[in-house]
Amino acid sequence: MLLRIFESHNVRSLSDISIFFQQASQLRFCSVEDCKGIESILDSSYSNSLCSPLENLEYLWLERLTNLHVLIKLEAPLSISRSRPLLGIFSHLKSFVIKKCLNMKQLFPFKLAHDLQNLEYLVVCNCVQMEEIISSEEENHKGNGINTPMKFSLPKLRELELKNLPELKSICSSNREMVCNSLRNIEISKCTNLERMPLYLPLFQDTHQSAPSAHPFERIRICP
């Protein structure tokens, strides 16, 4: 099932559309473009089961959503019982493109990053306030004082494009590393404040590797 929303300025979230919840389990492709009223893709206050609407979604395209500031709007305060349904919300997502969403500062909350196990293609372009791809808002986790970075994996990510993100400082926080076993193409341009790319690439980390990588790099392009 394909859903395209275009120039629907009275919609604040897909949760505002009643038919969305009725047939969302069949949704595979979703495109939302030129909707000035959109503030979030989903609003948790509309459903007791937040994971069901997008759990089978494979392709998501967001473009020219000038008031979009979060993907998932959570009720505050967020109780443990309300946070559980977040698990698996993007578990089938393969391709995510976001362009010209001028009020987005963090793309994915860290609690959703572990659900992106099937993500293959990620493009973020012309989001001029974007500061992080994986949010560090939940940075304060319990630890033993050791500064070893905590790794999380995007095992199927093959292509990463970050373009014209002048406020982007890092892909994720300094205490985390993003393990990308399948990454083949990286393209970064006009990200003038980008300070770190904490990507853990086994191809370059394993100095004892005797066999060629099953996923060799095809292109790495970084432009000022």
141 belongs to a structural domain:
no
**Model confidence at 149: pLDDT above 80:** no
**What does the CA dihedral 30, 166, 153, 57 come to, rounded to 10 degrees?**
0
Going by pLDDT thresholds of 50, 70 and 90, the confidence category of residue 110 is: confident
pLDDT at residue 211, as a whole number: 44
Kindly state the tokens that stand for 3: 């859903």
Tell me the C-alpha distance between 197 and 51, whole Å: 30
- Condensed to tens digits (0 to 9), the pLDDT of residues 5-64 reads 899 888 888 877 766 666 667 889 999 999 999 999 888 776 554 445 678 899 999 999
> Which domain, by its residues, includes 49?
2-136+149-223
What is the total count of domains within the chain? 1
- Given a contact cutoff of 8 angstroms between Cβ atoms, the answer to whether 59 and 30 are in contact is yes
- Of the pLDDT bands very low, low, confident and very high (cuts 50, 70, 90), residue 202 is low
Q: Is residue 143 part of a domain?
A: no
The CATH number assigned to the domain holding 30 equals 3.80.10
219 in any annotated domain: yes
Confidence of residue 113 (pLDDT cuts 50, 70, 90): confident
Q: What are the CA-CA distances from residue 202 to residues 28, 54, 185, 209 (Å)?
A: 31, 31, 15, 9
What average pLDDT does range 203-217 have in this prediction?
Answer: 52
* Of the candidates 170, 180, 186, 184, the residue with the CA atom closest to the CA atom of residue 201: 180
Per-residue confidence at 205, pLDDT binned at 50, 70, 90?
low
